[in-house]
Structure 1
């Protein structure tokens, strides 16, 4: 059974590309939502195995969405990987301190996205 990956990003084009890239790997089933609020709802209903979360989004940014995910018992155990164009050391350290599984830099490499996610899940034994 493929792993379910939820990609939360306000950029529709990037979301579409990410879902296509993840689905190219038979290990993944993927969905995209365009904001944190919708992401919280889909995470509860769809129960993804991993969430890829954009950092900079209007209304509810990635760190706020992450906090809501971790505060909800229904979603608190889902591994989260931040996706961000802000790759300065202090930014990456801040995201790491929040407790996310890891960070993928934007623009991500489409060909290796699924493998990068799978590698992060393997490192912590989060794959089924």
Structure 2
């Protein structure tokens, strides 16, 4: 059975590109959400194996969304990987210090994204 990854990003084209990459290249099942509220609802309904979460979103940002996930039963244990355009070292360190598996940078290579997610999650081929 394919692992399910929820892609959360406020930019529709990036959200869809990541989902397409994860499905077509990685063989994952991909779900998408554009806001913190959509993320929480999708996690509660679908129980994804991992959330790929944009760090910088309007309204509730990635760290805020992560805090909301961790506060609820459905999202308390779900693995999270941040996806961010902020690649300054101090920004990455701040994100890595949160309860996440790692941080990937945007723009991402659609051919590499599934392997990067697999590596951070510790999943085999």
> TM-score range with shorter-chain normalisation?
over 0.9
Q: Which residue in the other structure is 1:19 paired with?
A: 19
Structure 1 position 27, deviation (Å): 3.7
Change beyond 3 A, Cα 1:75–1:26: same
CA deviations over 1:45-85 (Å, ceiling 9, x no partner): 10000000001111111000000111112211100000000
The match for 2:53 is 53
Q: Tell whether the 8 Å contact from 2:5 to 2:49 is kept in structure 1 after alignment.
A: yes
Corresponding residue for 1:10? 10
Name the CA distance, whole Å, in 1 between partners of 2:76 and 2:28. 21
Cα distance in 2, alignment partners of residues 24 and 119 from structure 1: 17
What is the alpha-carbon distance in structure 1 between the residues aligned to residue 78 and residue 29 of structure 2?
A: 15
TM-score by length of 1: 0.92
Q: Give the whole-Å Cα distance in 2 for the aligned partners of 1:92 and 1:50.
A: 19
Alignment partners' CA distance in 2, 1:26 and 1:20 = 9
Cα gap change, 1:26/1:98 in structure 2, threshold over 3 Å: closer, same or farther? Answer: closer
**Which residue of structure 2 lines up, in the alignment, with residue 111 of structure 1?**
111
Contact 2:26 2:114 in 1 (8 A): no
Where do 4+ consecutive residues of structure 1 move more than 4 Å? Answer: none
Shift in Å, 1:25 = 3.5
Whether the 8 Å contact between 1:7 and 1:32 is mirrored in structure 2 is yes
Question: Offset of 1:108 from its aligned partner?
Answer: 0.6
After TM superposition, give the deviation of residue 11 of structure 1 in Å: 0.2
**C-alpha separation between the residues in 1 aligned to 2:50 and 2:99?**
14
Matched length: 124
CA gap of 1:98–1:26, structure 2 versus 1, over 3 A, is closer
Task: Kindly indicate whether the alpha-carbon contact (under 8 Å) linking 2:26 and 2:115 is maintained by their aligned counterparts in 1.
Answer: no
Q: Please report the RMSD computed on the Cα atoms of aligned residues, expressed in angstroms.
A: 1.2
